[in-house]
A = this chain, B = another copy of it.
């Protein structure tokens, strides 16, 4: 069953989902302000003197004002949101970010930070005429300590580039996600990106060692220490991790990189029902222990629709559920033995019905590509209502069949897939085109149910522009008031990424 294992060094280049699905509908999406009936807040409007000022600090080429040049920065990659910005700024260093924000704060000009623009909740595109501050030119790697594993780099570094860089030096990035070919590490930090291997390498609050960020008034907050332990006063960096650019803009990041695994294995299994997935997860945690690096699931509809829509191969036959188990270890023989023992046991027990195991890079890539392509597969055939929720494991899959029934034949596909190891399920409802009628069947119903189950209405995608009105399903009044107080403290004019994260009323 287990094929010979090989030592792997630099592998697993991910498909760039963002590229894969950018070919979806070329028509311009509706303006966010109209689609969601939002009123512009009382910010200043950009004058030509403002543009001149920006050109004086950034020079001509890094201030975009031509309508065609600016357009792509107004639209999110799932083409759900469209803003009306007329100015894109591309700073090259922290001092420039600081100067821009200081100026904008004084003039009450709103600013939208933008990394790789791979977000799924409209957080990285403007709603009205916010200035887009794009980080793509802040892409320098400052240092890497190959003994401690501490990497220091600018916010605009693309995750995949960083991963390639540290892999050449015997390390890996502690996070991995489908959008790695486009997303920026600063955006990852600002949105507390989760991804595929959180199970093994932990979340960004744990693996980000330091952050440099700029407050609304231009003050640079330097918490960029590359130390694993630093208990000197308040742990300020965490204010900027996950607050989606509403409390400050992340300009540099120090990340703790784990050792590159010498052995990587991937198993892809067919499973009869969801109960068996939970049993299999418990067994994998025990049998594979410290080498378990990912435990993902997808239902039949997730895999089947991806295979159909994107013409991708499924390496095994049709099953009600699929499980992907990955191991990262330091010894190929040991890892092979552990995996083999796990497989024999669970094929005998019947938890695994069929499957394939490989350590061959191209085959692993094929399987990961299938898993990672589920997110965008529906966009090829229509509009996708995407939900990203955490639900305690015993109720993890409950909502999918309920929604399937509720939406009926109005949907092309209702599917569930995600990171079982993190209690995080993605639910996609694909419809021929966006409809308010279906939206109102789904929302807020799905959030109410998640709240009843003590879950989170946004596991890893964040709140962004799309979900502030639902945030109360996951945060109570006191917590929302504290959020509002923090926003008032850090950004009294509210210029940083407005219309995002915070609800209008608490």
Given B203, B236, B287, B289, which contacts A206 in the complex, CB threshold below 8 Å?
B203
Q: Are A471 and B232 in contact (CB under 8 A)?
A: yes
Q: 1/0 per position for A451-465, CB-CB distance to B under 8 A?
A: 000111111111100
Q: Are B222 and A457 in contact (CB under 8 A)?
A: no
A143 CB to closest chain B CB, in angstroms?
10
Q: Are A485 and B479 in contact (CB under 8 A)?
A: no
Q: Is A439 an interface residue (CB 8 A)?
A: no
Q: 1/0 per position for A213-246, CB-CB distance to B under 8 A?
A: 0010001111101111111111110110111000
Q: Are A259 and B286 in contact (CB under 8 A)?
A: yes
Q: Is A86 an interface residue (CB 8 A)?
A: no
Q: Are B334 and A478 in contact (CB under 8 A)?
A: no
A219 CB to closest chain B CB, in angstroms?
5
Q: Are A232 and B474 in contact (CB under 8 A)?
A: yes
Q: Is A207 an interface residue (CB 8 A)?
A: yes
Q: Is A282 an interface residue (CB 8 A)?
A: yes
Q: Are A459 and B334 in contact (CB under 8 A)?
A: no
Given B147, B194, B229, B501, which contacts A282 in the complex, CB threshold below 8 Å?
B147
Q: Is A361 an interface residue (CB 8 A)?
A: no
Q: Is A202 an interface residue (CB 8 A)?
A: yes
Q: Are B234 and A243 in contact (CB under 8 A)?
A: yes
Q: Is A198 an interface residue (CB 8 A)?
A: yes
Q: Is A424 an interface residue (CB 8 A)?
A: yes
Q: Is A502 an interface residue (CB 8 A)?
A: yes
Q: Which residues of B contact A230 (CB under 8 A)?
A: 390, 456, 458-459, 474
Q: Is A191 an interface residue (CB 8 A)?
A: yes
Q: Which residues of B contact A243 (CB under 8 A)?
A: 233-235
Q: Is A181 an interface residue (CB 8 A)?
A: no
CA distance A483 to B481 in the complex (A): 19
Q: Are B148 and A392 in contact (CB under 8 A)?
A: yes
A355 CB to closest chain B CB, in angstroms?
21
Q: List residues of chain A with CB under 8 Å of any chain B CB.
A: 145, 147-148, 170, 191-192, 194, 198, 202-203, 205-207, 215, 219-223, 225-236, 238-239, 241-243, 247, 259, 261-262, 278, 281-282, 285-291, 328-331, 334, 337-338, 390, 392-394, 419, 421-424, 454-463, 467, 471, 474-476, 478-483, 485-486, 489, 501-502
Q: Given contacts A227-B392, A289-B330, A331-B338, list 8 more A-B pairs with CB under 8 A.
A: A145-B392, A147-B393, A191-B231, A203-B206, A221-B482, A230-B474, A235-B243, A330-B338
